[in-house]
Each structure stands twice: as structure tokens, then as C-alpha cells.
Amino acid sequence: MADTRRAFLRIGAGGAIASVLGFDLQPAYAQSKELKIARTTETRSTCPYCSVSCGVIIHTLGDKAKNVTPQVVHVEGDPDHPINRGTLCPKGSSLMQDILNERRLLKPQVRRPGSDHWEDIGWDQAIDEIARRIKKTRDETFIERDAQGRTVNRCEGIAWNGGCTDTNEFNYLVVKSMRSLGVCYLENQARV
């Protein structure tokens, strides 16, 4: 608090002196504000926290070389997004802490039946296990005809629930692939 107050007084005193001397400090203030994101790459995305699905801009630094991992330096609301028009709630405003959090899960995990803990598994193993379970569940729960003998060809043992960051293209593929399995219970978290 003391530091903030001291800094405020210092800037205030400096600004007053500059003003007395006839300098216009506005361009300098504007430039110092711009510097933080002046050389960043802007990537448009969607806040993943709730179904409002606010648009965000993620600013990353990096020269785009193959061996360089871009560093996220700033996240803000997208002023061109029709849902939030640049605003973010406090949770969405803290999105950068989620992206850079050292506890963020980067690998698939599985909790086996009867186990009391989650274990890391590889992506290939996860995809293989998911595919096997989908096949098994579909084979066991597929219904060709309903009680009146009408052809229905539906799978009632599987449901799909998507997230609000899923794109239109991804959702198109989800619906096509799930319908091809006969899945009729499809939902998505987003309410946009």
C-alpha cells in the first residue's frame, strides 16, 4: 500500500512538474501502456469456465521458431465478440493463471475400478481404451427396434457432452460421428 501511494505521489509530482514546464505526458503514458502487448501474437479463444462462453484474446510472445514455445503474457476480453464485447467476469479475468498454472493437467488420467487414485497414461493408450469401451458399450446397448417393432437403430448406453470451447467444425464432426454410432443423447455446455 505504501509503495503504491509513494509511486502515485512520485508520478503525480513528476506530472505536475512536467505540466508546469509545458510538457505533454499523454503520448509517453500511452506508449508505456501499449508496450506490454506491442509485440505479441493475438489468438482469439473462448473462456472455458462457464456456459456464457465469453470471447477472449490470448497474447503470446515468441518468434514463432519451431523450437520456441510461445509464452502467454496477457489475456483480455475480446471487444469484437458479440457475447461479452470485451468484458470478462473476475473468474474469466484470471484465465492467464489457469493457462500458466503448474498444476494444470497435461496428460490423460484414468481412475481404474476399485482404485483410490488417478494415474497418468499416454495419449495412444487413452484413445485405444476409449475406442474399446465405446465399441463394447455400443455392442451391448444398441437397439434396432423399439417395443412396437419400429426400426430405431439407436445406442442408449452412450451420451456425449461437449465443452463451450468446442468450435463449430469440431461440433459438426461430433454430431456426424455420434449419430453414425446411433447415439441420441448429445449435449453441449455452451449456451451461446
- Interaction site with ligand SF4 (CB under 6 A): 47, 49-50, 52-54, 84, 88-89, 91-92
Cβ proximity to ligand SF4, 95 vs 183, nearer residue: 95
| Pairing status of strand 41-46 against strand 142-145 | unpaired
All residues at 6 or more sequence positions from 120 whose CB lies less than 8 Å from its CB, including other chains: 107, 108, 109
Cβ proximity to ligand SF4, 40 vs 84, nearer residue: 84
Cβ proximity to ligand SF4, 52 vs 158, nearer residue: 52
Cβ proximity to ligand SF4, 164 vs 183, nearer residue: 164
Compute the least distance from the CB of residue 87 to ligand SF4, in Å: 8
Compute the least distance from the CB of residue 98 to ligand SF4, in Å: 10
Using CA atoms, how far apart are residues 127 and 132, in angstroms rounded to an integer?
A: 9
Compute the least distance from the CB of residue 54 to ligand SF4, in Å: 3
Compute the least distance from the CB of residue 75 to ligand SF4, in Å: 10
Place of cell 451420451: 159
All residues at 6 or more sequence positions from 19 whose CB lies less than 8 Å from its CB, including other chains: 25
How far from each other are the two terminal CA atoms of the chain, in whole angstroms? Answer: 41
In the complex, which residue's CB is closest to ligand SF4?
Answer: 92
Closest CA to 165 of 41, 56, 42: 56
